Amino acid sequence: MSTYLYELPTTGAIAFSDFCVDQSISKAYTAHISDTTQARANLRALLKESKRTDDDEKDYLRVVKVLDDYLPLLRGVMACVAHDEIGLRSEPVFSWRTTLSANLFHSSPRLSLPTLHAEYASVLLTYAFALSNMARAAVGALGAYEHDRAISDVERKAKDEKLSFAVNLLCRASGVFQFISETALLEWENSRDGGTVGLPRPPDLTREVTTALAKMSLADAQTLAIRKLLSKSAYDSNIAPGPPLPKSHPAPALIAKLHLECGALYSSARALAKTPGAARPRAKSASQFLSKDGRDASEVSADLRRYLNDEAAFHDALARKWLGVDAGESGGNDRGGEAVGFLAWAKKELEDLKDGGSGKGIIGSGKEKEARERRKEKVSDELAKVLVFWKHYKKINDSLSFQPVPSQPDLQARIPAGREAVKAKAFVPPLPAFGPGSVEYTRQQAEQLELAQDGEEEAVPNGVHLPAETTNPSSATSYAGSGEYF
C-alpha cells in the first residue's frame, strides 16, 4: 500500500498592500510588502496549475520551493505587525479550500479565514501535504525493484537510498504537522487580534487532525523503512519465497515489532481524525462547513479515514505473520502451534481486507476505484506469502510437533510492544525575510548599539576621571543588609 495522496488546496487572490501600512520612519517595508504579494501570487498560480495537472505529472518539488520562498516573507509581515512596524488598515481575510473535509463529488468547500495566523497555518499545511506527496512520487518511480531478479546489487542499493530519501521527506512532513498542532495553531488561538474565539475552524486546522496527520506521516515513513530493511532478503527470496528464510533476512521478531508500531500509529491517527466531527455540536455556525452539495463538511473525509483503518489492519496482520514466522523459525517444535495460530490469524485478517476492508460497497471516483484495486492487489500478494508459511508450519506441526494451537486471546497476550524505527524531524520555521527577527534587522540593531557605545566613550574626554561615587559600586549599596553576604 502506497502512502496517502493529498489533494493540494487552492487559494484566492489577495494583495498585502490592500491591508498593510508601512509605519516605519524610512518606509523600508513597502518594497517587502510588494514582494510578499508577488510570492503569494506565484503560490496561488502554481496550486491552480497543479490542480489541473494529472497526478503522475505533478511537480511537488516546485511547490515546495515556491512555499520556501513565500514563508520567510509571510513571517516578515507577521513579525512587523506584531512589533507595530506595519499596521493593518483592516483585518485580512484569506480564502482557502479545505481538501480534508468530508464532501461529496470532491467539491472541496472554499472558506474565508481571517488573520495572518490563519494564513500561516494554511501555508504550513500545504507545505506538509507537498512533502508527503513528493515522497509518494519518489517511491512510485522506484517500482517493486527488490523483486526484480535482474537487478544488480549496486542498482538495488542505489534505489534503497532513494527510498531513504522518501523516508526523510515523510519524517519532515510529520514534523511540520506536529509544528502546526503544537505551535502555529496555539499562536493563532493566543494572538492579540482575537485568535480563534468564535471562529469555527475546518477539521484541517484543528489540533486533533494535524496531530493525526503527524502520526500518519510517521507511520508511512516507518512502512518505507521496513521495506528498505527487507530489501536484500526480498531479493534473495525471489527464486524460492517462503521458509526457510535467507541468511540476509532480519530477525522476524524485529519486523513484527516494527509493524506493530505502524499499526498503533495508524489506529491512533484514525481515532484523532474522527474527533472533530464527533465533538463539534451541530449549530448555526456549522453552516459555514457545508459543501456545495449541502453535506456537512465538518468531518475529515471518509477516504482518509478508510486509509487509516485499512493500513492499521494491514500492519496488524503483517505483525501477526512475522510473529508466527518467528515462532516457526526460532521456536523449534515447542512453538509449532503458536506459529500456526499467528499465521492463521494473519491469514483471516488479510482475507477480510482483500474482500473489501472498510471500503466495501462504496462507490467512488475512478481514482478511488484504482486506489482500491492497488490495495487489493497488495493484500493479495501478502496473503499468498502468508499461505506459504502457514501451510509449511501446519504440515510440520501436524506431522512432527503435535503442539496445540493457542486460542486468539492466548495469542493476544503474547504480542509484544511495538518498536519505532524513525522519528519525526522537528520543523524549524525560517527566519523572517525582513523586520524583527531577520538577519538584516539584527545586524542593524547590533550596529546601532555599537555606535551608541562608541558615543558614550567619546563623551568622556581623555584624562578626565569620573567622581568616585559614580564609579565605585559599593557607594550605591545603601539597602538594609548591604555588604553582609560574605
Check residue 107 and give its pLDDT: 59
Please give the Cα distance from 182 to 103 (Å, whole number): 27
Lowest mean pLDDT among 6-15, 109-118, 235-244, 314-323: 235-244
Please give the Cα distance from 146 to 133 (Å, whole number): 22
Residue 169 confidence class, pLDDT cut points 50, 70, 90: very high
Average pLDDT over residues 225-233: 96
Distances (CA, A) of 177 to 43, 128, 274, 313, 455: 20, 6, 17, 24, 49
| pLDDT for 286 beyond 50 | no
Q: What is the pLDDT of residues 288-303, one digit of tens each?
A: 444 434 445 568 888 9
Check residue 474 and give its pLDDT: 42
Check residue 38 and give its pLDDT: 98
Check residue 300 and give its pLDDT: 86
Here the cell at position 443 is: 545586524
Residues 6+ apart with CB under 8 A from 369: none
What are the structural domains, with CATH classification, of the chain? Answer: 16-236+245-280+288-413 (1.25.40.280)
Average pLDDT over residues 447-470: 61
Average pLDDT over residues 5-34: 95
Average pLDDT over residues 167-189: 96
Average pLDDT over residues 282-292: 44
For 294: left if phi > 0, alpha if psi spans -120 to 50, otherwise beta; the answer is left
Tell me which residue has cell 502555529: 184
Please give the Cα distance from 398 to 403 (Å, whole number): 8
Instruction: Please calculate the CA angle 211-215-220 and round it to the nearest 5 degrees.
Output: 145
Check residue 471 and give its pLDDT: 42
| pLDDT for 463 beyond 90 | no
Residue 475 confidence class, pLDDT cut points 50, 70, 90: very low
What is residue 184's DSSP assignment? I
Please give the Cα distance from 183 to 243 (Å, whole number): 49
Q: What is the pLDDT of residues 89-105, one digit of tens each?
A: 999 999 999 888 765 44
Percentage of the residues of the chain whose pLDDT score is greater than 90: 67
Most confident of 48-57, 123-132, 279-288, 475-484: 123-132
Here the cell at position 393 is: 508450519
Tell me which residue has cell 500456526: 340
DSSP for 270-289, please give it. Answer: HHHHTHHHHHSPP-GGGGGG
Half-sphere CA count of 411, side-chain side, radius 13 A:
23
Average pLDDT over residues 312-321: 97
Average pLDDT over residues 403-416: 95
| pLDDT for 198 beyond 70 | no
Most confident of 72-76, 106-110, 113-117, 194-198: 72-76
Contact 14, 40 (CB under 8 A): yes
Check residue 105 and give its pLDDT: 44
Please give the Cα distance from 380 to 165 (Å, whole number): 28
| pLDDT for 32 beyond 70 | yes
Tell me which residue has cell 491469514: 347
Tell me which residue has cell 522519528: 423
Residues 6+ apart with CB under 8 A from 294: none
Residue 459 confidence class, pLDDT cut points 50, 70, 90: low
Contact 438, 76 (CB under 8 A): yes
| pLDDT for 168 beyond 70 | yes
Distances (CA, A) of 431 to 82, 104, 424, 425, 476: 15, 40, 21, 18, 42
Most confident of 102-106, 203-207, 449-453: 203-207
Average pLDDT over residues 365-379: 77
Average pLDDT, the chain: 86
Q: Which helix (H) or strand (E) holds 110?
A: strand 110-114
Please give the Cα distance from 266 to 358 (Å, whole number): 14
Tell me which residue has cell 493476544: 412
| pLDDT for 462 beyond 60 | no
Check residue 104 and give its pLDDT: 45
What is residue 294's DSSP assignment? S
Contact 315, 263 (CB under 8 A): yes
Average pLDDT over residues 462-478: 46
Check residue 282 and give its pLDDT: 46
Are β-strands 20-22 and 86-88 bridged in parallel, bridged antiparallel, or unpaired?
antiparallel
Three-state DSSP class for residue 97: strand
Three-state DSSP class for residue 101: strand
Please give the Cα distance from 135 to 61 (Å, whole number): 10
Chain centre to alpha carbon of residue 483 = 58
Please give the Cα distance from 109 to 97 (Å, whole number): 6
Angle between helices 116-142 and 153-179 (to 10 degrees): 160
Check residue 278 and give its pLDDT: 59
Q: What is the pLDDT of residues 337-364, one digit of tens each?
A: 999 999 999 999 999 998 876 555 444 5
Check residue 484 and give its pLDDT: 47
Contact 10, 48 (CB under 8 A): yes
Here the cell at position 440 is: 538584516
Q: Which helix (H) or strand (E) holds 20?
A: strand 20-22
| pLDDT for 378 beyond 80 | yes
Check residue 137 and give its pLDDT: 95
Residue 239 confidence class, pLDDT cut points 50, 70, 90: confident
